[in-house]
Structure 1
Amino acid sequence: MDVDTGIDDSLALLYLLASPEADIIGIAATAGNVPASQVAANNLAWLDVCAAPDIEVALGAAEPLAIALRTTEDTHGPQGVGYAELPQSGRRVSGRSAAQMWVELVRERPGQVVGLCTGPLTNLALALRLEPELPRLLRRLVIMGGAFNHPGNTTPTNEWNVHVDPEAAKEVFDAFSAAPPDRRPIVCALDITETIEMYPEHLARLAERAGSLPVEIVSETDSVAARSAANNPIVRYLTDAVRFYFDFHRHYDQGYLAHMHDPFAAAVAIDPALARTRPATVDVELAGTMTRATTVADWAGMWGREPNADIVIGTDPAAFFEQMITRVGDYARAVYPPTTLEDA
């Protein structure tokens, strides 16, 4: 995982921890939603809350490749996890950089590792500079980023992760032009991820599945100072995080909902069959006055270049949420059994 945790990155991490098919071998902290050091702290804290085994968390670059870092605390809260106040972790950050971790883990397991990037692609671009064979050494790469036949969420034409480090995104897509067709990146862009709409009832169903009490229905009338009283810590912190995301989307007239971009990408990393894809050649605009950081897809081969990505063009949001609620709810229940919480 290479993440900029992040509210929806948090749920992506929970989804993978809750998935028996997934074995998380490393988490790279990339600067994006918040600075890289805060991202690493959030990842370590979530691992504690989830009573997860030791998983390496490596610190990524503090800045994008060529421009100053822009963060988005207005979207994800001052610490990146909304209203949640995660406990400080006693776990330590890895002694190697995120780029080094990428390279060394993949070299140790050629053809076995699935990479999941839900933040800017800075760390992966740096890893590609260290090991240009990464596109052939990875089993597959899943990227949450970009916007194709869809408006951007940061400027009229571009998506946040690419906006933060467009040079890195271009380096990654250029490098994967050398990947064989079965190892092209699967790109989960805004075209699809903005259809993955989470509502308060999804949180309530997850709490019920976890056996967490009380089962709360968060509301746009809740005070900013309100905090979840759920007795299951995973449900409690997740509720406080996601409620901030609901408030953010409502503030921008999108409804009292949250787009769960990153958990969907995590689900696709485990099971690509959840997504319908179409191959295309993807490039990133770097010189446009109004279109810098825009992802451009050549669907028809007009550039005369082979496809370097499989872009997700369809999915079933209801099926995704059913699976997510089942997995994360069951996981929260297993980590904190209701009988134990009742006795506490």
Structure 2
Amino acid sequence: MTEAEALPVFADVDTGVDDAMALAYLFASDDAHVVGIASTAGNVPVDQVCTNNFGLLELCGRTGIPVSRGADGPLSIPLRTAEDTHGPEGLGYARLPPVDGRLTDYDAAQAWVRAAREHPGKLVGLAVGPLTNLALAMRIEPALPRLLRRLVIMGGAFGYRGNTTPVSEWNVHVDPEAASEVFNVWGAAWGLEKPSHLPIVLGLNLTEHAAMTPSTLGRLAAAAGSSTTPMSVLDDRGTRSAAANPLIRVLEDAMRFYFEFHFDQGEGYLAHLHDPLAAAVALDPDLVRYRQATVDVELTGTLTRGMTVADWSGAWGRYPNAHIGVEVDPEAFFDRFIARVGPFAASLVS
């Protein structure tokens, strides 16, 4: 598939471990043409996100993609970051090549609008961090929902526990006002007029089924033709990857930190690939089964602030504003991830 035939994709990321895996998937996909990357404060502060994005672009040979800096923090509350989950620089134990990257002279919100105007009706938007930049972009261009081909959001939890509070998922918790604004503006923009253009929302109820294990990571290294040492929960903490392939080495060092975090949370020596699943769905929505509903975000509850609430039955009397992911085949996703990222990693050293 030529670049002209590929889907133009704009990725909004707060680059931690699973964001990096999502970007690697997009770079490895012939059916994706990444036209821009917006850096969002979330897993780590926004300047570190920019640094991580430039390092990944250098590592993956994609240095021509514009990177834009987003807001320093959420719309109306202080920023909360997640170095305990993703490591002090956002990528666990991984170290990226130092790059003196040049940011665009416009911010991430403007980057959303520019990309949508340059690819009207064709652009696929992918938002896998807090929705701050997207909310600000929709203030600049209220018609943004109508300019996109589709939008995929990783965020929320529907009929499922939270991973930050008992009821709130991380991305929504960091900036619940932004998430609320995006859902409400999008619903007002489309309503019942064209429900096929409602955003696809993948919550923890779906993404936690995409659990990577050391054996899956070993399959990825094998697909890249890279020698490596299988990971184990018995390894010393912080053991560095022995992979010969530079991309596999970075992903393994990042994932080890993520495995250790999940293990310490009592979830096993594994890691949930929330953002890579969203990237895969952005290119092929048929990977997931959905239900249409109206989504809003609780902003005032003492115990429930940041909770994503889905009105499945129409009790609110409001137009649906989301297609909520409810079912996925994890094996099909991982097969596709490995089939794309493995050979891509091999191509970087050929």
TM-score range, shorter chain: over 0.9
Using the alignment, how far apart are the partners of 1:336 and 1:119 within structure 2?
A: 31
Partner of 1:151: 161
- 1:326 and 2:339 aligned: yes
- 1:197 and 2:196 aligned: no
Using the alignment, how far apart are the partners of 2:263 and 2:239 within structure 1?
A: 17
The structure with the largest strand share of the pair is 2
Using the alignment, how far apart are the partners of 1:279 and 1:99 within structure 2?
A: 27
- 1:235 and 2:248 aligned: yes
Q: Deviations over 1:167-213 (max 9, x none)?
A: 00000000110223121000010000011110001111111110111
Aligned length: 336
Q: Which runs of 4+ in 1 moved over 6 A?
A: none
The one-letter code sitting in structure 2 at the alignment partner of 1:188 is L
Partner of 1:136: 146
Scaled by the length of structure 1, what TM-score is found?
Answer: 0.96
What SS class does the counterpart of residue 88 from structure 1 fall into? coil
From 14, 21, 44, give the equivalent of 1:11. 21
Using the alignment, how far apart are the partners of 1:195 and 1:233 within structure 2?
A: 28
Using the alignment, how far apart are the partners of 2:237 and 2:58 within structure 1?
A: 26
Using the alignment, how far apart are the partners of 1:174 and 1:129 within structure 2?
A: 12
Partner of 1:120: 130
From 27, 34, 41, give the equivalent of 2:44. 34
Q: Deviations over 1:236-256 (max 9, x none)?
A: 011000010000000010000
Using the alignment, how far apart are the partners of 2:63 and 2:40 within structure 1?
A: 21
Equivalent residues in 2 for 1:169-208, closer than 5 Å: 169-177=179-187, 178-179=189-190, 180-208=194-222
The one-letter code sitting in structure 2 at the alignment partner of 1:122 is T
Partner of 2:279: 266
- 1:105 and 2:115 aligned: yes
1:47 CA drift (Å) = 0.7
Partner of 2:305: 292
Q: Deviations over 1:242-288 (max 9, x none)?
A: 01000000001000000000000000000000010010000001010
Using the alignment, how far apart are the partners of 2:317 and 2:73 within structure 1?
A: 34
Partner of 1:220: 233
Equivalent residues in 2 for 1:71-90, closer than 5 Å: 71-90=81-100
Runs of 5+ in structure 1 lacking a partner?
338-344
**Over aligned residues, Cα RMSD in angstroms?**
0.8
Using the alignment, how far apart are the partners of 1:91 and 1:331 within structure 2?
A: 23
From 59, 63, 72, give the equivalent of 1:62. 72
Partner of 2:223: 209
The one-letter code sitting in structure 2 at the alignment partner of 1:166 is P
Partner of 2:292: 279
What SS class does the counterpart of residue 232 from structure 2 fall into? coil
What SS class does the counterpart of residue 34 from structure 2 fall into? coil
The one-letter code sitting in structure 1 at the alignment partner of 2:161 is P
Using the alignment, how far apart are the partners of 2:238 and 2:126 within structure 1?
A: 34
The one-letter code sitting in structure 1 at the alignment partner of 2:125 is G
1:53 CA drift (Å) = 4.2
Using the alignment, how far apart are the partners of 2:260 and 2:346 within structure 1?
A: 27
The one-letter code sitting in structure 1 at the alignment partner of 2:342 is G
The one-letter code sitting in structure 1 at the alignment partner of 2:204 is L
Aligned-residue sequence identity (percent) comes to 59
Using the alignment, how far apart are the partners of 1:58 and 1:225 within structure 2?
A: 32
Partner of 1:316: 329
